[in-house]
Amino acid sequence: LWTGQQLKNPNFGVSSHVPFESSHDDVKTYQILQVGDKIQLSPSLKLESRLGYANASLESKLQQGVQRQSGIELFKGIYSGTTPLQLIGTRDRIDFVAVLQHKADGPLRLWGRDFSAKNGLQVGVGWEELFSSNKYTAYDNLNLRFFNGMPYAIVMLNTPSKARQRVRHLSLFIQNNTLFSDLFALDIGLLLQSSVGWLAGGQETTRLQSALPAQNQPSSDDLIRWTTLSPRVGIVVPVSNRTAVRASYARYYHQLLATYLDFQNPAALRGKVFLWNDKNADRKFQLGEQGKLLSVFGGQYSKIDPDLKAPFTDEVTVGADFDFGGRVQLGITLLHRYEQRLVETTNIGVPPSAFSPVKIIDRGGDDKLGTFDDQEFIVYNQDSTTLGRDFYLLTNPAGFRDFYQGLEIDARSKDWVPGLYFHFSFAAFMIVGMASQEGEALEYDQGAIGNLFDTPNTLINADNRLFFDRAYLGKIAAAYQLPWDVQISGVAKYYDGLPFGRKLIVRGMNQGPFYILATPRGNRFPPSEKQGGHRVEFNLTLDVGIEKVVLFGEQRIGVRLDIFNLLNCNNNTRESDLSGPKFESRLPLEIQAPRVLRLGVKYEF
């Protein structure tokens, strides 16, 4: 089987804050090739194997003809000039898996009774090899930073930079499914996996004696090596002909990401941040305008903890399934996920002892002193002698975890009303934990490496609702078969808004301006009398489609009209979160996409 795909977006990233000149000319090309085989060794024994190759070519280029240094307005995310970085990258994956399956049926005698039993056993091995490369370039090898519209700092980059990573996964798994007549069904599985990551092609790793004790320096080229054992067990017990209860437990270890290896690769993207004295006020950087060094970041200034461990998720579910006459099914599930030992950087070059506490006043969401929502905060001023001494350790910070709790309901019917298919799903949940505050696209995403533990200021109100917490989700999907081979279908979706906290910009510190979260993100957890956070507006969309099929022997031609966002709803999907006189106006930064019509033709033969 081969499949290929190319996606072109000549203005990728354009938004209310990103003009066309600052967007990417984006082209992504994917190729996938798979070869598989099945061998029936005996009536009860089968061997399946698969060999696959996948390639991705990623190009995010600067817009042609734009020759202006890239700039961004701090905290507002307003871009100017070219896009900050151009990327040319590749991803290659080779994987092989072989599974031996054994099925057996037979009688089983328990408690003096005879039962029928079915057992399915699978034993498999897997091998996966991943190759990744990223080449970054930036116009004039720098980015500009503005604050309140004025030149503030420059970021000098080591572009063009090219880093290559390699990751290998080896796995052995066993799974057994047993059905004991009408007593219960039991599913047990175990996965043993070894993951190794290293830099490809003889690239040197960062080895700074001042960063870590010499005895902790890795003795081989393997920067990360994990061996994990993941158990899984589930049981289903019927309590009547139409009702069954179920429960399960599973542990999932997170994948070793190739991007982790950049934290010990001097060839990876890195930069130095300097104050900017724009002497001629032309808003362009020239030699001689470079000021004091503020901070450094990137591969040369970071290292991977030799004792870095694989993060994991424990998941427990309890649920019940109901069958109302065979045409309507209902499922209810309670679940709890607990992610532990998550991965982040800590700034061991500038530890917490390099900061001194300073008391500040927050004027609240109304931006008025003396009102009910005023607050006091302790923020932290960096010792000026430590500026630029940053050195980051990729590690498992103590206490870095999050959890997910939720209720899910799923109901569906087919032909309860002749010709009608109906599906309803609903979820009420919360995702609570700590996450980085850096970068708009990665804010509050616990899977993204950012600035969470890099300074004491990033920990203020850091533990609360995460990016993917939408509190309540609902979806109704329906399809109805009309006469004359005409089908009409529709999907209605609802979800609560993005959680966010009000950001308070702090000025006058040695390290320059930064922001803290003056409120938690979303609803405060656990609830308290203190100020809660915020959510943007809820989102509701209705998409409908109608299709007419014409038959020509064994050939089919379908003509379809789809209408997305039929009601043309325009609620906010992102709102301004900076403290100030306009905060309570809920100014939108992004809104729902408008109504879109799509006409398509499908030919089957």
Q: Is the pLDDT of residue 303 over 50?
A: yes
- Please check the confidence at residue 406 and state whether its pLDDT lies above 70: yes
**Alpha carbon distance 86, 137 (integer Å):** 5
Closest CA to 158 of 175, 135, 176: 135
pLDDT at 95 over 90: yes
Mean pLDDT (whole number) for 371-385:
95
How far apart are the C-alpha atoms of 433 and 35, rounded to whole Å?
42
Confidence band, pLDDT 50/70/90 cuts, at residue 63: very high
Residue 56's φ and ψ, nearest 5 degrees, are -130, 130
User: CA 477, CA 422: separation in Å to the nearest integer?
Assistant: 6
Rounded Cα–Cα distance for residues 234 and 333 (Å): 13
pLDDT reported for residue 554: 83
Task: From 524, 371, 551, 372, select the one nearest 461 (Cα to Cα).
Answer: 524
Share of the chain above pLDDT 90, in %: 80
Distance CA 99, CA 282 (A): 65
258 backbone dihedrals φ, ψ, rounded to 5°: -60, -30
pLDDT in tens, 8-23: 999 999 988 999 999 9
User: What's the mean pLDDT in 374-384?
Assistant: 96
- Write down the mean pLDDT value for the chain: 91
Beta strand extents in 256-399 (DSSP E only):
270-276, 290-298, 302-304, 312-323, 328-340, 344-347, 355-362, 375-382, 392-395
Stretch 33-60: mean pLDDT, rounded?
96
Per-residue model confidence (pLDDT) at position 109? 64
In this structure, of 113-122, 450-459, 556-565, the range with the lowest mean pLDDT score is 113-122
- Confidence tier at 356 by pLDDT (50, 70, 90): very high
Q: Please answer whether residues 127 and 170 qualify as being in contact, where contact means their C-beta atoms are separated by less than 8 angstroms.
A: yes
The model's pTM = 0.90
What residues contact residue 554 under an 8 Å CB cut-off, 6+ apart? 605
What angle is formed at CA 313 by the lines to CA 311 and CA 318, rounded to 5 degrees? 175
**Percent helix, strand and coil across the chain, each rounded to 5?**
5, 60, 35
pLDDT score, position 384: 96
Residues 432-449 have a mean pLDDT of: 77
Q: Which residue has the tokens 């001042």?
A: 210
pLDDT at residue 64 is higher than 80: yes
Residues 453-502: tens digit of each pLDDT = 999 999 999 999 998 899 999 999 999 999 888 999 999 999 999 999 99
What would the mean pLDDT of 385-403 be, rounded to a whole number? 95
Place of tokens 């370039």: 137
Classify residue 141 as left (phi > 0), alpha (psi -120 to 50) or beta.
left
Answer whether residue 25 shows pLDDT above 70: yes
- Average pLDDT of the segment spanning 435-449: 74
What span, in angstroms and rounded, lies between the C-alpha atoms of 311 and 303?
18
595 versus 440: the higher-pLDDT residue is 595
Which pLDDT tens digit goes with each residue over 144-202? 999 999 999 999 999 999 999 999 999 999 999 998 877 889 999 999 999 999 998 76
Does residue 219 have a pLDDT over 50? no
Counting every residue written for the chain, the total comes to 605
For 2, phi then psi, to 5°, come to: -125, 140
Average pLDDT over residues 334-354: 96
- Per DSSP, the three-state class of 545 is strand
Does the pLDDT at position 212 exceed 60? no
16, 78, 84, 91, 579 from 25: Cα distances, Å: 17, 19, 13, 19, 34
Q: Which amino acid is at 305?
A: D
SS3 61: strand
Residue 214: its pLDDT value, please?
A: 39
pLDDT for position 448: 84
**pLDDT, tens digit (0-9, with 9 covering 90-100), for 564-602:** 999 999 999 999 999 999 999 999 989 999 999 999 998
Q: Is the pLDDT of residue 417 over 60?
A: yes
Asked whether residue 216 carries a pLDDT value surpassing 50, the answer given is no
